[in-house]
Amino acid sequence: MLGGSPEQHQQFLPRFLESSGTPLAALCNSEPGGSANFAAAAPGAGTRTQARLDDGHWVITGAKQWISNATGWDEKGADLLCVVCRTDADAPPESALSVLVVERPERGIVVDRYLDTMGHRAHLSPRFRLEGVRTPAANVLGAVGSGKGLVEASFAGTAALVGVFGTALMRAAFEFALDFAKTQTRGGALPIIEHQAVGYALADAKTAIEATRTLNWRACHALDTQSPAALELALQAKIYGSETAVRVIAELMRVVGIDSYDHDLPLARLMQDALVLPIFDGGNMGVRRRQLHDLMKGAGYDPLAACGAAAS
């Protein structure tokens, strides 16, 4: 959607708008060994997956992991892969990478293993190799060498959505803990919500949930309206929402007590899913805070833009 031409939209997208079938697509960026510095030039490695032109086709060789859906339903590849590749080993980061579209390849997808993740277990997270995978030379999103900007733009919108994930997990945890506090005496005379410590913990949790929810709404609205502050708000939503979710669910587990550690209750599962939020979709330390840092270092940074005002 961001980098494709109108002709590419017509070629690649219709199958995903049908009311039947189960097509899969994947953005193949992350690699074994980490991709926080995916655009790094020498002496850094950056993206290691290579693509070279051969007889009117790109030939792709490399390894990827953490790419949901990438190996398809049958380990032969998703219906549509957008593969981040190094197309010019000697170019600077701004022009070294390209995003190549690969329709379900005939051969060349080799699964090494599926990651055994702590949470988010409803989908496969493969580590796989592309061994001479071929795609037509025209299947480049945007211009050759424009991959860095496309990848960064693609992950701007998802940053805000991670904050939404955090809000959803906190909300589920809070609703359970509130009901627990109102109905359980834990051997005492009154429901535990009557104790000040429990009541204050619930009040703090609900306040954090609503603050996160509001930040998410603002970030998503800014992205939808293409506000100049969209990236800053999306990054803040990702960082704050993900880290707040882990903290709030931990506090709610303390309200419930040791029983929250049993999978018979939902809090342990919610925590398992929450723990990945600060470290996936661009880790908060290695990627997202760095992006905010770079924004604030910029000569044209307006500290009031995110609050809807303009610096005077």
Instruction: Say whether 281 is catalytic.
Output: yes
CA proximity to 38, closest of 108, 105, 93, 110: 93
Selected catalytic residue, list 112, 281, 294, 302: 281
Omega before 191 within 30 of 0, i.e. cis: no
What is the set of active-site residues?
281
